[in-house]
Amino acid sequence: MWLYEKKLQYPVRVSVCNPRLAKFLIEQYGGADGELSAALRYLNQRYTIPDKVIGLLTDIGTEEFAHLEMIATMVYKLTKDATPEEMKQAGLGDHYANHDGALFYHDAAGNNWTASYIQAKGDPIADLYEDIAAEEKARATYQWLINMSDDPFLNESLSFLREREIVHSQRFREAVELIKDSNTGKKIF
């Protein structure tokens, strides 16, 4: 099912070591509206969605894992040369004490990722509207990250991710209409 190319979906460059910015980016790594949550949500929902949109959930869920890889690369590059004192000053002292430089699934506030972030109702319309909301929240978060960043190289990658969230939202909106259209046929009880 998966073909892995040993390159990122979009190049990730950073100007300088910046653990403070990495702390904010971790939100998209292990936060409720981050890339891990999105990937798992969509790949899980595809089992109870009509056949005509299974491929969409598979495609977007898989792409979200590529986005997760990009965020991990950003965080790594922003922290790889940071000293323990710099990690502490950036608000990542607890992270450093528990994980050193390793990535860990938690949000920017340090809350561990949890499966309760994933929504699946089993109703295609409800699930797709949840997916639209998730994509719009991710888009907003990427914009806020760009607003806080002064790294033009990193902002290029963040802008790419923000634009992909917009595309995903649009695709989910199309899927809602497709399902609604298929449900408007004559029903006899």
Q: Exposed e or buried b for every residue in 74-83, given b needs 16+ CB within 10 A? A: bbebbbeebe
How long a stretch of residues is the chain? 189
Q: Which residues are annotated as a binding site for Ca(2+)?
A: 59
Which residues have CB under 8 Å from 83's CB, separation 6+? none
Q: Which residues are annotated as a binding site?
A: 35, 59, 64, 67, 135, 168
Contact 61, 49 (CB under 8 A): no
Contact 17, 86 (CB under 8 A): yes
Q: Cα 187 from chain centroid?
A: 39
d(CA 146, CA 88): 23
Contact 4, 54 (CB under 8 A): no
Q: Which residues are annotated as a binding site for Mn(2+)?
A: 35, 64, 67, 135, 168
